[in-house]
Structure 1
Amino acid sequence: MKMPASDIPALFDRTTLAARRARAQDEALFLHRAAVDEVQDRLSMVKREFTAPAVVTPFPQVWGEILPGARIVADDEVLALQPGVHDLVVHAVALHWANDPVGQLIQCRRALKSDGLLLAVCLGGETLHELRAVLGQAEAEVTGGLSPRIAPMGEIRDLGALLQRAGLALPVADNVALTAEYRDLIHLMRDLRAMAETNVLSSRLKHPTRRAVFDRASALYAQNYATSDGKLRATFDLICLTGWSPDESQPKPLRSGSAQARLAEALGTNETKLSD
């Protein structure tokens, strides 16, 4: 029996997320500033002047001055975007916290004018893989079980497919791996708290974790992911998604079988049949 959509529990506790974002420290938002650089770099390669941009972001203090005249919109479940108004929408490091990421992209696509550009940056599947591994092993050893601690994040192939599901044309997905170094596990956890990227899974434990779990995780982290000078490495996987609102002027794939020349001739080789 299929559960009604209204009865399906949300993956993320957005109320808790909003409260933690309200306490975020500006100097800790280095992921957003790295994303700003990526967005500016990609826009510099697009030979077009955007006159009606919008930015979807939880941190307007970082993104507010990036695109002159841009409409700044909170990453709520329902985005405050009007249909067909913008020639550029940037979804800024928030998609990985969306309970309905496809819905977010669809709303962005609807807000675009014909042949408008969507550029979304979010955290991908390799983010904090070191922390995920050591916490999982430590909890299994100490308590004999596992609890939800780090949000599942999409792999680049899956996130790229979301662009097509949202009805965007010419989809492209690529990633940038960033590595930060920390004195110890406590330093890493404090930094994640300061940037509002800690656990807000709806199914997370609602009681404090035993100290022994963190002690064991700290030892495993130092054993497996320490640099030569004893710092702990932490990976952040920035996924960059680009897609265009469909327009008749855009290039389209040729119909299958419509080629006017054989590939073998272009490569200067002989064409042979495959064996049955």
Structure 2
Amino acid sequence: MSQPPMLFSSARLAAQRDRMAGAPASANFLAPLIAETLLDRLSMVTREFRRTLLIGAHDALLIERLRASGTNLTLFEAGRRLAGATGALTGEADAIDLPLASFDLIVWPGGLESVNDVPGALVRMRALLAPDGLLLGAFVGDGSLARQRRAVMSEGVRPIARLHPQIDLSSMGNLLQRTGFTLPVVDVDALTVRYGDWFALVRDLRAAGLSSRLTPPPPPLTHEEAARIAAAFAAQADPDGRVAEIFRIIHFSGWAPHPDQPQPARRGSAGASLAEALKPKD
């Protein structure tokens, strides 16, 4: 079977993750928001998870909160320096080589949107979960950063792919079903952040590990191109001079199959006809 094309660079991913490790925790404003939402959703699940895999070791507070729950926590991280500092296993999320069915919970707070083989990564997560295990995650999805995308396509900027393709809500739901997860849930939170200029947005994206990982890497922007993008971004500002940029955070969850889980009713098993029920009454 042919391998999917390599859209993203694993070396650039590792370098970005290690760069995040050296930045102050406050620089990445998205991480605590995603972590808090995932923990809130996890608190609504009325069962214990004895063995948990956390993909990503940059959020010390999330690690602390998960360990405080009493679970046996395994960390997996792409950045070698970050992995060394946290005791995490090192590698790429779509190539985790661990025993099958070895976790009751997998938490993935960002990153699925930029793996080379998204279906393959989900199949691997499904295989790592024990029966009735839960996959819970989030990522920046379709519809995010619309104003930056328009600015990058400004006249005078070379028409070169610089921004990542994005996964939409319906595609994510279909992927969870196709890769064998049961009871899939996918929803979105829209977060609006207002910027004084494009360079402030770029700093936030770098701090959150969301800058480009495309391979081959696009050529660097010239000073003139950067100025054109900045001007086009500023032209979309509100009357107060700030640009409202949107991050659409897609949250997803799915369970490894188990006989005791609720099952959908067999097609045609209803005791009454919907057509009959909708007929007008005399």
Cα distance, 1:80 vs. partner? 4.5
Which secondary structure does the structure 2 equivalent of 1:99 belong to?
coil
The counterpart of 1:191, out of the listed 204, 222, 226, is 204
Aligned positions of 1:106-125 closer than 5 A: 106-125=123-142
Distance 1:28 1:195 in 2: 8
* Corresponding residue for residue 212 of structure 1: 224
Q: Secondary structure at the match of 1:42?
A: helix
Matching residue within 264, 270, 273 for 2:280? 270
Residue deviations 1:98-152 (CA, integer Å, cap 9, x gap): 111112211111111111111121110112121011111x1xx115x41111100
Amino acid at match of 1:119: L
Match of residue 270 from structure 2: 259
Contact 2:188 2:250 in 1 (8 A): yes
Alignment of 1:1-276 (within 5 A): 5=2, 9-24=5-20, 25=23, 26-68=25-67, 69-74=72-77, 76=92, 77-136=94-153, 138=154, 141-143=155-157, 145-206=158-219, 208-224=220-236, 226-263=237-274, 269-270=279-280
Does structure 1 retain, via aligned residues, the 8 Å contact 2:12–2:213?
A: yes
TM-score (norm 2): 0.85
Measured in 2, the distance between the counterparts of 1:95 and 1:58 equals 15
Q: Which whole-Å deviations, capped at 9, do the CAs of 1:184-240 have from their partners, x for residues lacking one? A: 11111122222221111104323x31222222222222222x234212222111111
Is the Cα–Cα contact under 8 Å of residues 73 and 81 in structure 1 kept in the other structure? no
Following the alignment from structure 1 to structure 2, what is the Cα–Cα distance between the partners of residues 146 and 204?
A: 14
1:146-184 deviation line (CA, Å, top 9, x unaligned): 111110010111111111121111111101111212221
User: Aligned residues, how many?
Assistant: 260
How far did 1:49 drift? 2.1
1:92 alignment partner AA: P
- Asked whether the equivalents of residues 148 and 203 of structure 1 are also in contact (C-alpha less than 8 Å), the reply is no
Cα–Cα, structure 1 residues 270 and 81, in superposed 2: closer, same or farther, change >3 Å?
Answer: farther
RMSD over equivalenced CA pairs, Å: 2.1
Q: In structure 2, what is the Cα distance between the partners aligned to 1:11 and 1:65?
A: 33
Output the CA distance in 1 between the equivalents of 2:31 and 2:222.
32
Q: Give, in whole Å, the separation in 1 of the partners of 2:99 and 2:221.
A: 44
Separation in structure 1 between the aligned mates of residue 61 and residue 28 of structure 2, nearest angstrom: 8
Distance 1:266 1:45, change over 3 A: farther
Post-superposition Cα deviations, 1:3-50, rounded to whole Å, max 9, x if no partner, equal x735x6410011012112211222222212111111111112222222
TM-score with structure 1 length normalisation? 0.86
Unaligned runs of 5+ in 1: 272-276
Rounded to whole Å, the distance in 2 between the matches of 1:17 and 1:54 is 20
| SS of alignment partner, residue 183 of structure 2 | strand
Partner SS, residue 38 of structure 1: helix
Determine helix, strand or coil for the equivalent of 2:45. coil
Specify whether residues 228 and 66 from structure 1 end up closer, same or farther in structure 2 by C-alpha distance, changes over 3 A only.
farther
Counterpart of 1:178 in 2: which secondary structure? strand
Displacement after TM superposition at 1:60 (Å):
4.9
Question: By how many angstroms is 1:57 displaced?
Answer: 1.3
- Identity in percent: 35
Distance (whole Å) between structure 2 residues aligned to residue 104 and residue 194 of structure 1: 24
For 2:123 and 2:34, locate their aligned partners in 1 and report how far apart those are by CA, in whole Å.
21
Please tell me whether the aligned partners of residues 156 and 239 of structure 1 are also in contact (alpha carbons under 8 angstroms): yes
